[in-house]
A and B are shown apart, each in its own frame.
Chain A
Amino acid sequence: MKPLGLWTLPNAITWYRVVAAVPIILLLVSGSNAALWAALALMIVAEVSDGIDGWVARRYGQVSAVGKILDPMADSLYRVSVFTAFAANRWMPVWMFLIMLWRDISVSYLRVVAEQKIGTLAARQSGKWKAVAQGIAQILVVAVYAWCGTGLPPEMQRLLWCTLFIATVVTAWSLVDYALAVYRGIKAA
Chain B
Amino acid sequence: MAEHTGKRPVETGTERNGTAMIMSNGPEVDRDRASSALATIPNLLSLLRALLGPVVLSLILSEAPWALWAALALMLLAEATDYFDGEIARRYDLETEIGRLADPVCDSVYHLSVFLAFLAMGWMAAWMLFIIYTRDLTVPYLRAFARQSGHELQILTSGKIKTAVHAVAQIGVVAVALGLFGPHVLINGPAPTILLMAAVIASIYSLADYVAETGRLVRS
- A residues contacting B by CB (< 8 A) are 1-2, 4, 21-22, 25-26, 28-29, 65-66, 69, 72-73, 76-77, 80-81, 84-85, 87-88, 90, 94-95, 97-98, 101-102, 104-106, 108-109, 111-117, 120, 183, 186-187, 189
Contact = CB atoms under 8 A, between A and B. Distances in A.
A84 B133 contact: yes
Nearest to A117: B10
12 contacts: A4-B218, A22-B127, A25-B127, A66-B145, A73-B137, A87-B119, A98-B116, A105-B108, A105-B137, A111-B144, A120-B144, A183-B12
B17 interface: no
Contacts of A186: 10-12
B101 A113 contact: yes
Contacts of A28: 126
A121 B130 CA distance: 25
A101 B112 contact: yes
Contacts of B144: 69, 108, 111-112, 114-115, 120
Given A84-B119, A94-B120, A109-B104, A21 B130 contact: yes
Interface in B80-100: none
Given A69-B144, A84-B130, A108 B101 contact: no
Interface in B116-162: 116-117, 119-120, 125-127, 129-130, 133-134, 136-138, 140-141, 143-145, 147-148
Q: Which 6 A-B pairs have the closest CB atoms?
A: A88-B126, A108-B140, A115-B147, A115-B144, A73-B141, A109-B105
Contacts of B4: 116
Contact of A187 (B12, B120, B145): B12
Interface in B1-38: 4, 10-12
Main secondary structure of the interface of A (DSSP, over half): helix
Contact of B126 (A29, A108, A113): A29
Contacts of A26: 127
A115 B148 contact: yes
Contacts of B117: 94
B113 interface: yes
Given A26-B127, A186-B11, A101 B140 contact: no
A29 B126 CA distance: 8
B57 A98 contact: yes
A101 B105 CA distance: 12
B147 to A, nearest CB: 4
A50 B22 CA distance: 46
A22 B4 CA distance: 37
A98 B12 CA distance: 29
Most B Cβ at <10 Å: residue of A1, A94, A117: A94
Contact of B109 (A25, A65, A101): A101
Given A98-B54, A104-B137, A88 B119 contact: yes
Given A77-B134, A101-B112, 10 more contacts: A76-B137, A80-B130, A87-B120, A94-B120, A98-B116, A101-B133, A105-B136, A106-B105, A108-B137, A114-B144
Contacts of B125: 29, 88
Contacts of B108: 105
